[in-house]
Structure 1
Amino acid sequence: MMVPMREEPTRTTTPPTEPADPAATAATGPTAAAGTTRTAAPRTWAVRLVTLGIVLAALNLRPAITSLGALLEEVRDGLGMSGSVAGLLTSVPPLCFAVFGVMAPRLARRFGPSAVVCAGMAAIAAGLLVRPYAGNTAGFLAASALALAGIAVSNVLMPVIVKRWFPDRVGSMTGLYSMALALGTSLAAAVTVPVTDALGGNWQSGLASWALLAVAAVVPWLPLIRERGAAPGAPQPASEASAPAATGSAAQAPALRITRSRTAWALGVFFGLQATAAYITMGWMAQIYRDAGVSAGTAGLLLAVIMVMGVPLAFVIPRVATRLPHQGPVVLVLGACGLAGYAGLYLAPVGGAWAWALLLGVSNCAFPLALTMVGMRARSGAGVAQLSAFAQSVGYLISIPGPLLVGVLYQGTGGWGAPIALMVALMIPQMAVGWLAGRDRTVEEEAAAR
């Protein structure tokens, strides 16, 4: 049973290898009770600030990608890109997520998760501001990589921060930031073209405008950049209080042999296949509709519909998933919606455009499901950090060829039949490995047993 999203007075017992629970009341005796009066206000303030920071950070985790998808044709013309190079451009996000995401746990141990997320938001702002004015494809890719590096480390650390600050509300908080992520994704897809038109039709200004949202996301993390384990102002056990601030107890936990876990591999492959579908959708779906005869503005709205479906469902699906002993049935439902959407997109791309967008939007909610399973398949905060980095790095490596291959198939065949067939073919193994990843077990158990 998930606990409603509110402050709770319930005491939480913190294992010795875990960071102190920042959201729990630590009063266990007269002395602690007296200390509660001194620490309750800053702790409540910090938790609320973290919640705001999570929401604003999540809003920035996809606009760098979907804003580009809405203006891909204009960017291609402006920079003189071929279809294959444009396919490479749509493959840059998963490549950066794989390369930079694996660094996130180490950076978090050294500087603290909040400091790393704060730096990530600053990198997103800088990259989005610079890339439209780079002047050539190489500069555009380099600036995009800077923004995507910030997204990558934040992607990995979001489940870690949720597990640390809200250990009894993993499903609810995962749903909250998944909703914010979906909202940012759909908002960028829907309004990038109108904003560009309002700015005189200049695609550079339209893309650069999203840097403002990233700047806003930096602010709530600034007071938290020194946070290492427990919430600022929260009382700590004597054993932890005597430890150096830069070394949380989670950092002392022995590293899991994560590669020995079949569940970790299944989750990594599931993450990769759903990411492949998502980045093909974000990078190419608007173009598919435009080539079918839909206007640029309507194509952007259709892409926004696909993404906006994640706003309500990203809150519902994690809460449902945490109540089920096996998440496999949810995986199958989402996969079936994807297969139906691709079939409709091939047979009647214009006539049923809105219906296919709705179905594909439901299918894209495999992402919040994958994030929820990351939090459920590990017992400890350290385990979640390792599993999150492993699953996302493996997953994004797997997803790199997909958007590029779609660009090659599109240019080679002159149509969208072969790319859509590829999307259908990838959905089948996604459903299979998702079923395996949804089994009720933890990576700690599997790593210890092998």
Structure 2
Amino acid sequence: MTPPPTAAPALPAPATADPRPSRDPGAGRRTHPATGGALVLVGMLLVALNLRAVVTSLGALLDEVRDGLGLSGATAGLVTTLPTIAFAGLGALTPWLVRRVAPARVLVVAMLALAVGQVLRVATDSALIFVLTSALALSGIAVANILLPMLVKQHFPHRTGLVTGAYTMALTVGTTVAAASAVPIAHAFGSWRAGLGVWAAMAAVAVLPWVPLALRTRAAARRATPTAAVAAPTRVRPARTRLGWAMAVYFGAQSLSGYAIMGWLAQLFRDAGYQPESAGLLLAGVTALGVPIALLMPTLAGRLGSLRPLVLGLTTASTLAYLGLALAPHGAALLWVALLAIGQGAFPMILTAIGLRARTAEGTVALSAFAQSTGYVIAALGPLMVGILYEATGGWTAPIGFLLGALAVQTAAGMAIARPRYVEDE
């Protein structure tokens, strides 16, 4: 008969047991971030300011760029599709990269790529080099897109909603400022190159906080004892989980509507009788009203036990906005713009949900990469399908019907991710 456990003789402690604090830099980052929360937060906000400026500044000056470089219609279409291609393809490689290089060092390289790419693309007269250097700049954004939710989980696990709201608001501000000021800057300097190139300075500033963080991480790795036992992080594969696919579909469907709105809403209002300047202001209103929503939405998502009320509320706002745009685009334009801004709160909500639906930093970066890379493939269909339906029918009923269909898919995926659970458990 086997004796009870208490009858077993005491064994000596294993040789690896050590009451002293671990010198493993990975463990230090997981439990007590050695890099300092304030500097990480500042670095994240500066990175977020840059995440859409390179896209929206080009959109505002696309006609001038086409004339200046002699871009064909096909090449211009490729340039406007590059963001979703880069975000999908390069974003998927980020978890592999983070397993080998510290996130701070990755962000230094990403922001340098963004800055250098923006400088090089305004210094060329070649359409091919313009496309390639734009892709270089977008590669930095693609990596940063994936890393920010992971950094929130790693450094601010108890303030996920607040910090996600702060960097999402910074992203929205950067988007709005770049779209609104690119043309005036170009006019002030007499060239579209100034309107695009000025944002390279903002990317260079975003490098600065990450340099000391990267150096500190490298120094910590050198101080670690060669014999220290470091547990390899568990590989998380969201593509094998229902939650991962639901997150990807929700992210993709909301991004599809977002890109379609950015690309076609001004044209809809122009067709409804608004002057081009007024139509542009109405489009800018969607982004501007999104700033406070971007700050508040992650906080609400972090405090609610279930995301179901937010999912249904955002769907209701978007549905009313689409129906209003189809039936009375001119009569109550400001109301539809406000409802669209509320509906686009799905973006900061899903970014928050990425952190809420993973237990670990490794799970967060894997879920972030899968949801965003797969989602941006879906999102690329938005402007394309709206354009095809608009050209085929000559009106907005069919395009809005398509967006309502995408919204139904988004809602179904949202209900699937609403209840609390974790991707690692699946």
- CA RMSD in angstroms comes to 3.1
Contact 1:114-1:227 at 8 Å conserved across structures: no
Alignment partner, residue 166 of structure 1: 156
Figure out how many residues of one structure are paired with residues of the other and give that number. 404
CA distance in 1, matches of 2:66, 2:128: 13
Structure 1, 284-293 or 115-124: larger mean CA deviation = 284-293
CA distance in 2, matches of 1:214, 1:205: 15
Alignment partner, residue 179 of structure 1: 169
Q: Which of 130, 144, 149 pairs up with 1:140?
A: 130
Q: Which of 48, 53, 56 pairs up with 2:43?
A: 53
1:248, distance to aligned residue in structure 2 (A): 7.0
CA-to-partner distance for each residue in 1:79-128, whole Å, 9 max, x for gaps?
Answer: 56676665544322111101000111222222211111121111222222
CA distance in 2, matches of 1:150, 1:83: 26
Alignment partner, residue 7 of structure 1: none
- For residue 440 of structure 1, give the secondary structure of its aligned residue in structure 2: coil
Q: Do structure 1's residue 217 and structure 2's residue 206 form an aligned pair?
A: yes
CA distance in 1, matches of 2:197, 2:301: 37
CA distance in 1, matches of 2:137, 2:230: 29
CA distance in 2, matches of 1:129, 1:244: 45
Q: Do structure 1's residue 206 and structure 2's residue 195 form an aligned pair?
A: yes
1:390, distance to aligned residue in structure 2 (A): 1.2
CA distance in 2, matches of 1:399, 1:319: 25
CA distance in 2, matches of 1:244, 1:418: 65
Alignment partner, residue 256 of structure 2: 276
Larger Rg: 2
CA distance in 2, matches of 1:228, 1:258: 28
Q: Do structure 1's residue 402 and structure 2's residue 385 form an aligned pair?
A: no
Matching of residues 320-335 of structure 1 within 5 Å: 320-335=300-315
Contact 2:237-2:366 at 8 Å conserved across structures: no
Q: Which runs of 5+ in 1 are unaligned?
A: 1-12, 26-42
CA distance in 1, matches of 2:424, 2:244: 10
Q: Which of 316, 336, 343 pairs up with 1:356?
A: 336
Report the residue type matching 2:198 in the other structure.
S
CA distance in 2, matches of 1:214, 1:287: 31
CA distance in 2, matches of 1:267, 1:422: 21
Q: Which of 178, 193, 211 pairs up with 1:188?
A: 178
1:293, distance to aligned residue in structure 2 (A): 4.7
CA distance in 2, matches of 1:98, 1:266: 17
CA-to-partner distance for each residue in 1:28-47, whole Å, 9 max, x for gaps?
Answer: xxxxxxxxxxxxxxx5x732
Call closer, same or farther: CA 1:354–1:244 in 2, change over 3 Å: farther
Call closer, same or farther: CA 1:60–1:67 in 2, change over 3 Å: same
CA distance in 1, matches of 2:87, 2:322: 26
Contact 2:164-2:348 at 8 Å conserved across structures: yes
**TM-score where L is the length of structure 1:** 0.80
CA distance in 1, matches of 2:105, 2:389: 42
CA distance in 1, matches of 2:359, 2:330: 47
Matching of residues 353-392 of structure 1 within 5 Å: 353-392=333-372
CA distance in 1, matches of 2:102, 2:323: 46
CA-to-partner distance for each residue in 1:257-306, whole Å, 9 max, x for gaps?
Answer: 42231111100111111111122223333344445454444444333221
Contact 2:108-2:207 at 8 Å conserved across structures: yes
CA distance in 1, matches of 2:265, 2:68: 20
Matching of residues 14-413 of structure 1 within 5 Å: 19-21=27-29, 24=32, 46-76=36-66, 78=68, 86-135=76-125, 137-200=127-190, 202-226=191-215, 228=217, 241-242=224-225, 252-413=232-393
CA distance in 2, matches of 1:73, 1:337: 33
Q: Which runs of 5+ in 2 are unaligned?
A: 1-20
Call closer, same or farther: CA 1:226–1:281 in 2, change over 3 Å: farther
CA distance in 2, matches of 1:442, 1:349: 42
Call closer, same or farther: CA 1:140–1:412 in 2, change over 3 Å: farther
Call closer, same or farther: CA 1:105–1:325 in 2, change over 3 Å: same
1:163, distance to aligned residue in structure 2 (A): 1.3
CA distance in 2, matches of 1:398, 1:264: 15
Call closer, same or farther: CA 1:189–1:320 in 2, change over 3 Å: same
1:227, distance to aligned residue in structure 2 (A): 5.1
Contact 1:84-1:407 at 8 Å conserved across structures: no
Report the residue type matching 1:242 in the other structure.
T
Contact 2:321-2:336 at 8 Å conserved across structures: yes
CA-to-partner distance for each residue in 1:307-329, whole Å, 9 max, x for gaps?
Answer: 12232112211111112121122
**TM-score where L is the length of structure 2:** 0.85
Report the residue type matching 2:172 in the other structure.
A
